[in-house]
Amino acid sequence: MAAVILGCDATALRRWNYRAAVEQVARTGTFLDRWQTFLRPDVCPGTEAWLFLSGSTDAASGLIGHGFVASGPFQGADPDPGSTDWFFALTLDGLLPPGEQIRPGTLGGTLSGDLLAKVTGPALVPLPPSSGPGLRRLWDAHGPSTAGPGEVLGGTFPPDAVSTVHVNRYERDPDARRACLAFHGTSCASCGFSFEAAYGGAGSGVMGVHHLTPPALLDDSYQLDPIADLIPLCHNCHAVAHTTSPPLTITELRRISSAAGHLNGEVVQDLALRAQEDAQRILDGGQM
Type and span of the H or E element at 133: helix 132-142
CA atoms of 43 and 186, how far apart (whole Å):
51
CB contact set of 129 (below 8 Å; sequence gap of 6+) = 2, 3
Nearest to 247 by CA among 259, 260, 231: 231
- Output the CA–CA distances (angstroms, integers) from residue 55 to 13, 19, 127, 231, in the order listed: 12, 17, 20, 32
What pLDDT, on the 0 to 100 scale, is given for residue 163?
A: 44
The strand pair at 3-8 and 48-53 is best described as parallel
CA atoms of 235 and 263, how far apart (whole Å):
18
Stated length of the chain: 288
CB contact set of 32 (below 8 Å; sequence gap of 6+) = 70, 89, 90, 91, 92
Q: What is the pTM of this model?
A: 0.51
First to last CA, the chain: 83
Q: What is the pLDDT along the chain (288 residues), one digit of tens a residue?
A: 478 889 888 877 788 788 888 888 877 778 888 888 878 888 888 888 999 988 888 788 889 999 888 888 888 765 566 667 888 888 888 899 878 888 888 887 787 777 777 777 667 888 888 888 888 888 888 888 644 433 433 444 444 444 444 455 555 677 788 888 888 888 999 888 888 888 888 888 789 898 887 665 666 677 778 888 889 999 889 888 888 877 888 888 888 888 887 666 555 567 767 777 777 777 777 655
